[in-house]
Amino acid sequence: MAATMESSSDEEEGCTFIQVLSEKYNPENFPYGQGVVVMPSPPGSPVKGRLFLPNMLVLSDAGIRKAGDRSDIAAFCAHVLELDLSHNQLNDWAEISTIVSNIPHLEFLNLSMNPLSGVELEPSMAEVFSRVRQLVLINTQVSWDTVHALTQQAQELEELFLCLNGYNTVSESQTSCPSLRLLQITDNQLKEWAEVRKLGQMYPSLKTLILANNSVDSVSDTRETLEQLFPNLRTINLNNSGLSKWEDIERLAFFPKLEDVKAKGIPLLQPYTTHERRCLLLAQLPSVVLLNGSAVSDGEREDAERLFIRYYQDCPEQELPERYHILVSKYGQLAPLVEVDLSPRSIMVDIRWGDRVEAVSLRLEQTVGDLKKHLRALLQLPTNGIRLFYSDREMCSVLGPEELKCSSRALHSYRIRDGDEIEVVPKVKSRYSSSDL
C-alpha cells in the first residue's frame, strides 16, 4: 500500500528536467552515433560515463514539471543552444527560469503546450532569458504581462510565436522590443486593426508579421501612420482574416518595404474567380514580389495592371480607386478586350462508307474514339470494329489519306477543316485489295 501511495505521489509531482535528460541521453538508452560524442568523463559532469549531450535537446511530451538539481543542469547543458520542452507539465516560471538560467548559451526555447495560464513571470526572473533569440509560446495561454516581461529582458529576441493563446486584444507595453524581427500570432481572436497597431508600436523592427486565422477586419490607418507603424515590414500574412474592402488592400501598399503578401480566404475575394483575385490584388500592390507564395514576374504584373484598368474603366468617377488613375497615367486608356468565342467549334465533313456519302457535323474537341462511337450509331455501322481515314481535299493528291489511329487523340489535332473527307473502312478488311498493287 505504501509503495502504491509513493508511486501516486511521484506521478503527481511529475518528472524533473534532469531526470528526463539523464534517462533519454544515458549511453544505454540513447541511440548515439550520428554525430553525438561519447566521452568517458564530460567536462564538469557529476556522473562519469555519461553521454556528452548534443547542443540541441528535444525533451517534449515527457511529463516534466520541475527543473531538478541546478548544478546537474549546469554541468550537462553548458554547451546547449536549443531546447524543446513542448507538451510538458511546466506551470511555474520559477522552475522554467531555473532551467534556463543554467543553460548560459541558450538561443532557442520551445515551451508550447505547457499550462502557463494564470501564471505570471516576475520581472526579476525574466533576466535569465536575455540571450534567447527564438521563443515559442504556442497554446500556453501565457498572459501579455508575462510576454512583456520576457521581451523587455530578452534584448536579443528575434522571433516570437504566440499562436493559439486565445488573445482577443493586445495589451500595450511602455517598453518596445527593437530586436524582434518575426512575430507569429496566428489562430487567435484579434479583430480590430487597433490591436494590430499596438504590435507595430511595440515591435518597430518587425520584418515578418503572421496574422493568419484571426478576424482582423480592416487596415484602418492613414498612409503616414502606416509608413511609420511598420517601417521595416517585408512580409505579412492575412490568410483567413476578415478583410472585406479593397481600400484595405490599397493601404497595405503604404508599408514602405512590403514585398511578400498572403491574403487567401478573405471575404473580399469571394465573388471573384481565381484569376481575377490574383490580378486585382497584384495590381494594387506595386512593390510585392511574392503573392500568396508565388513569385510575380514583370509580365504578370503588367497583365494584372492592364486587367485592373479594364475592370474599373466603366465605373462612375467617384467609385474609381486611386490606383486606377495611377495605372491609367502609366498605360493610358485601354480599349476593351475583344471577346473571343471559346465554345467548342463544329465543322462539316463528308463521311464516306462504301458508295454512301453523308455530310456530318463534327465537334473538334471530341476524340477519335468519340467519333467512332458517334458514326456507328449515326450510320448503323457494324460493331465489330471500323477504321477511319482522313483526307485533306487540298493536299490529298500529295499526302494521301491519314488513318485516325489513336482513340484518345482530339480531332482538332489533325487539323481537319470544313469540306474534308473521312472514309470508314471495316477493320476485318484490308485497306487495299491485291489487285490494286
* Domains, the chain, with CATH or none: 11-283 (3.80.10.10), 346-427 (3.10.20.90)
- Per-residue confidence band for 358, with pLDDT thresholds at 50, 70 and 90: confident
Torsion sign (Cα): 293, 299, 302, 307: negative
* pLDDT band at residue 396 using 50, 70 and 90 as cut-offs: low
Percent of the chain with pLDDT over 90: 61
**Integer Cα distance of 60 and 63 in angstroms:** 8
Query: Phi/psi zone of residue 215: left (φ > 0), alpha (ψ -120 to 50 degrees), beta?
Result: alpha
Residues contacting 330, CB < 8 A, separation 6+: 305
Q: How confident is the model at residue 337 (pLDDT cuts 50, 70, 90)?
A: low
Q: Residue 108: enclosing H or E segment and its boundaries?
A: strand 108-110
**Distance between CA atoms of residues 30 and 141, nearest Å:** 33
First to last CA, the chain: 106
Assess contact for 185 and 140: CB atoms under 8 A: no
* Residue 414 DSSP SS3: helix
Q: Quick one: how far is CA 279 from the chain centroid?
A: 19
**Around Cβ 292, how many Cβ atoms within 10 Å?**
16
pLDDT of res. 383: 56
Secondary structure (3-state) at 105? coil
In contact, 23 and 50? CB cutoff 8 Å: no
What's the pLDDT at 364? 81
Candidates 205, 102, 223, 190; CA nearest to 151 is 205
Nine-digit cell string for 149: 516581461
Phi, psi of 196 (to 5 degrees): -65, -35
- CA 418, CA 349: separation in Å to the nearest integer? 6
pLDDT per residue as tens digits for the range 102-111: 999 999 999 9
Which residue has 480531332 as its cell numbers? 411
Say whether pTM exceeds 0.75: no
Q: Read off the pLDDT of each residue in 382-387 and give the average, rounded to a whole number.
A: 73
